[in-house]
Amino acid sequence: MVFRLPPGARPAWPLQMADGEPGSGNRRTVLKQGLLAASGAMLMPGLARAASAEAAPPGDPPWSQSIGPGVVARTYGQPSDFEKDVIRRNVPWLTATPESSVSFTPLQDQPGIITANGLFFERYHAGRPTVDPAGHRLMLHGLVDRPLLLTVDDIKRFPSVSRIHFIECPANGGMEWRAAQLNSLQFTHGMVGCAEWTGVKLSTVLAEAGLKTNAKWVLVEGADGAHMDRSLPLEKCLDDCIVAYGQNGEALRPEQGYPLRLIVPGWQGNVNIKWLRRIEVGDQPWFTREETAKYTELMADGKARGFTWLIFAKSVITFPCPEKPLKGAGLYEIRGFAWSGNGRVQRVDVSFDGGVNWTRAQLEGPVLPKALTRFTLEWRWDGKPVLLQSRAVDETGFVQPTIAELRAARGVNGVYNNNAIQTWQVKADGSVFNVQLA
């Protein structure tokens, strides 16, 4: 296909051409100069501002007076360069090494319920392994009639399902038990993401192996260096778990367990074993390190809770938030996410006065079970300070608790399963801070 400029027209902005494309020497010089100018503008904020001023009407911006790169200039798409701040981030002081650590989803920039694959939070116990799918196997054995060794292709041949579910690390908000600590939505709530997962139901694979009558528990284990493993009750495995290979329209990302991971809908992130390689059926739990020494909750009386898999109802306002302050009085749409491991979100209420009075927010569909659910509320801000909160109620009638209630029930040493109502303090200048109330 040949693009022609109108007769007499001269490009004010470089024609960006694929390497090797024929062009006159003169034009090439023009192109080079133009590209230099373009990259200069991107590096220098002053020039970028000038460019955006020129871009406003009645001017015509450079990108409207040129043609852009052609197809397959990027064979795998990337976000706009202008979104370069929207990235997973970590809290370097939190862990000994980045290989056994966590990064956080930038929820403040997530518009809908689906978390972009490149922004989905990471949690590794021994780094992100590079697994060759040709060499990967899923072994199923234990209390079954027919032990199985399956390739990734074998798994893909089984009948498939697609489901949209959140995954949340139970340590999300774990730094906030004693007091408000981190002034950021990303760092207080970003250990959650939501995606469409495609795979075979675990119940189908278990049925293919044939369960012995005394089967009660299932050990699931990863191929990473941690050989991350958890015991799951058979009932949950036969209910809605998925051995997934698809994530939002493509293969699972390596960060999410490529080529196979378990999806355990509504249950804490670490049981959704990534790089899944082994399933052992037994008659009792294994009491692995991850379900005894870790991912248990120490209560104030010195006793600990184990097997607290379920994610209870939770919500948070994503606009405004510390990263996204208000810009003067006026009309705004409050936005946020709610989710519950116990089914659908039934309603979300918003308070402007720290929980004295509440207003029903609107749920923005789809409202799916065990999935992030959007809520919105139109709000005219008068410019006075407010204490902003959201409170989720799920279809079981469970109401999201305050941090004071959680502390009264569990003390402050538990680390996990903090589903407290978040309070954002909005100051008169529009800035937003993470606070905790009495």
Interface positions, 310-329, toward other proteins (CB under 8 A): 310, 312, 322-323
- Does 48 interact with other proteins (rule: CB under 8 A)? no
Does residue number 292 form part of the binding site for other proteins (CB under 8 A)? yes
3-class secondary structure, 413 = coil
d(Cα 85, Cα 215) in Å, to the nearest integer? 49
Closest CA relative to residue 188, chosen from 21, 434, 380:
434
Among 112, 306, 366, 383, binds other proteins (CB under 8 A): 306
Asked if residue 374 binds other proteins (CB under 8 A), the reply is: no
Locate 274 and state its tokens.
């990534």
* Per CB under 8 A, 158 contacts other proteins: yes
* CB-nearer residue toward other proteins: 131 or 219: 219
Among 100, 117, 160, 376, binds other proteins (CB under 8 A): 100
Report 173-202 residues binding other proteins (CB under 8 A). 179-184, 186-187
Please tell me whether residue 282 binds other proteins under the rule CB under 8 A: yes
Tell me if 214 contacts other proteins by CB under 8 A: no
Q: Tokens 């309603």: give the residue.
A: 347
In this structure, are residues 168 and 272 in contact, taking their beta carbons and an 8 Å threshold?
no
Among residues 30, 47, 277, 381, which is the contact residue for other proteins, using CB under 8 A? Answer: 277
Stretch that binds other proteins, among 26-34, 75-83, 93-101, 332-340 (CB under 8 A): 93-101
Which amino acid does the sequence have at 265?
A: P
User: In the complex with other proteins, which residue's Cβ is closer, 2 or 134?
Assistant: 134
Triad 371, 376, 380: Cα angle to 5°: 165
Q: Does 85 bind other proteins (CB under 8 A)?
A: yes
Of residues 273, 283, 280, 219, the one with CA closest to residue 244 = 273
Specify the residue, 33 or 396, whose C-beta has the smaller distance to other proteins: 396
Give a three-class secondary structure readout of 230-265. EEEEHHHHHHCCEEEEEECCEECCHHHCCCCEEECC
Interaction between residue 307 and other proteins (CB under 8 A): yes
- Region from 28-36, 60-68, 208-216, 362-370 binding other proteins, contact rule CB under 8 A: 208-216
**Contacts (CB under 8 A) with other proteins, residues 337-366:** 347, 349, 353-358, 360
Task: Say whether residue 5 binds other proteins (CB under 8 A).
Answer: no
Which residues, 395 to 414, sit near other proteins by CB under 8 A?
A: 398-402, 405-406, 409-410, 413
Q: Which amino acid is at 55?
A: A
Give the interface segment with other proteins, choosing from 7-15, 27-35, 276-284, 373-381 (CB under 8 A). 276-284
Whether 147 and 287 have beta carbons less than 8 Å apart is answered as no
Counting every residue written for the chain, the total comes to 438
CB of 282 to other proteins, least distance (A): 8
Q: Are strands 276-282 and 138-142 parallel, antiparallel or unpaired?
A: parallel
Q: Name which position in 148, 251, 363, 367 contacts other proteins (CB under 8 A).
A: 148
Q: What is the four-CA torsion angle of 97, 101, 105, 108, rounded to 10 degrees?
A: -70
120, 258, 309, 375: residue in contact with other proteins (rule CB under 8 A): 309
Residue 80, interface with other proteins (CB under 8 A)? no
Tokens 């606070």, located at residue: 435
Q: Are 89 and 106 in contact (CB under 8 A)?
A: yes
- In the beta sheet, which residues pair with residue 321? 324
